[in-house]
């Protein structure tokens, strides 16, 4: 299965937070699954960390090593993702979530998210 981690799922995974359900954690760790993290999530994390609104257990500069060690690939934003974004209904206004939704739809990825707003779109999601 190909999985796209929503920002909060990734943060909970790297922080070892119990808010991340065991099923989701196991899907991320399962080597048979291909896991991705949007570059938009890293952008969001960098912004929130610099504003003091987010604390990571690990230094931001070590995230690349963590991604590599856990075989999570960074998903770039492509022109096709932006084309999908243009036609995405405004059920939800968070720009980071909207690009993740667009990436999930365009690339036919299952998004690991707790966010109920994702259900308003035609994107595959998994949580519990």
The domain spans of the chain are 2-126
Q: What are phi and psi of 13, to 5 degrees?
A: -65, -50
Label residue 93 by pLDDT band (50, 70, 90).
confident
Residue 63 in tokens: 């995230």
The CATH code of domain 2-126 reads 3.40.50.1010
Paired sense of beta strands 2-5 and 34-38, if any:
parallel
CA distance linking residue 47 with residue 35, whole number of Å: 23
- The fraction of the chain above a pLDDT of 70, given in percent, is 100
Its pTM stands at 0.94
């Amino acid at each position: 299965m190909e999985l796209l981690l929503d920002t909060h799922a990734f943060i909970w995974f790297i922080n070892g937070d119990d808010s991340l359900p065991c099923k989701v954690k196991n899907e991320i760790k399962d080597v048979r699954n291909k896991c991705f993290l949007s570059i938009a999530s890293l952008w969001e994390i960098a912004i929130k960390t610099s504003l003091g609104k987010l604390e990571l257990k690990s230094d931001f500069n070590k995230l690349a090593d963590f991604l590599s060690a856990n075989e999570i690939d960074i998903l770039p934003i492509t022109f096709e993702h932006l084309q999908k974004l243009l036609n995405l209904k405004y059920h939800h206004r968070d720009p980071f979530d909207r690009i993740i939704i667009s990436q999930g739809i365009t690339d036919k990825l299952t998004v690991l998210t707790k966010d109920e707003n994702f259900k308003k779109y035609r994107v595959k999601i998994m949580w519990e």
